[in-house]
Structure 1
Amino acid sequence: MDQKRFLYVVVCAAGIAGDVGTLITAAQDEGWDVGVIATPHGLPFLDAAAVETRTGYPIRSAWRRPGDPRPLPPADAIAVAPATFNTINKWAAGIADTLALGTLCEAYGAGVTTAVLPCVNAELTAHPAYRESLARLRGMGVRIGEGSGGAAGFRWEEALELLAAR
């Protein structure tokens, strides 16, 4: 039997993060196995037990100790949803001070296809650092979706559409 493709879903501290099950279910329906990596501030937004039951994997949020086994298989693709202003700017700057950011920074070097759905309010999208960060991520080959500033109109499935695009 062929092994399924493995998708990392990186979840940030946005109010809609608790709805990540929508993306997990959609990905599984498309044949992906899924593991969740949460930013430290994003972790409290999740129902960890529900996510872990749905995926069959522990949510990762902290670095593992040397010698500890890797709890997730290597990623075939990564979806960052919802992605916050902070995560987008740090990622674009190459700051890897959390497991989530370290994973995203390494993904570029490993050639892992990555999609991001920003969840940033209008005031923060106006900041020049944000626009510059999106441009840098695009230049790195990151596929950037529309996203939104909140739950209204946030299309979780767009991450899968971006990953499937050629």
Structure 2
Amino acid sequence: MRFHQVKELVDWAAGYHRRLAEQFAALAGGGDVDERVRMALDYLAERERKQQNDLTGYLDDGSDHSKVLEAWFDDPADFPHPPVLERLPGCIDCDTVQSVLSTALTAHRTLQDLYAHRAELAGSSDEKAFFEALSAGHEAEVRRIARDMQRLEDY
């Protein structure tokens, strides 16, 4: 289906974060994972759950964004599988903290690209501002994750 509401994309993105959190948590619970890698995976699972909760909050709280969330858009890429998401690795490499970080950054930059793409194609200034804010939030999250993971690596 080509036509979707913004709230469908937000719901899908929240589910995406949930799936990443579950994947990071499952990997952290694996028996043969280095302790620093386990800490990194636990941290990332927590960050993904926070991102999921933030997005779900837009849908649940009757926020000021309800008008934007109800807006329709046409996506010929057959959302929820836009081409930018195909860049995400098929499996998570968890041999080192740096490989875990690389996967996490790819996941966040991919969503950031999706939000920036939706901002470019926005049908209204409110929709554009909404997606620009989501994109900026992911940019800040990428910086936070990179900083915190570097601290873990230096620890």
TM-score computed with the length of structure 2 as normaliser? 0.28
More helix by share: 2
Instruction: Please state which structure has a larger fraction of its residues in strand.
Output: 1
* TM-score computed with the length of structure 1 as normaliser: 0.27
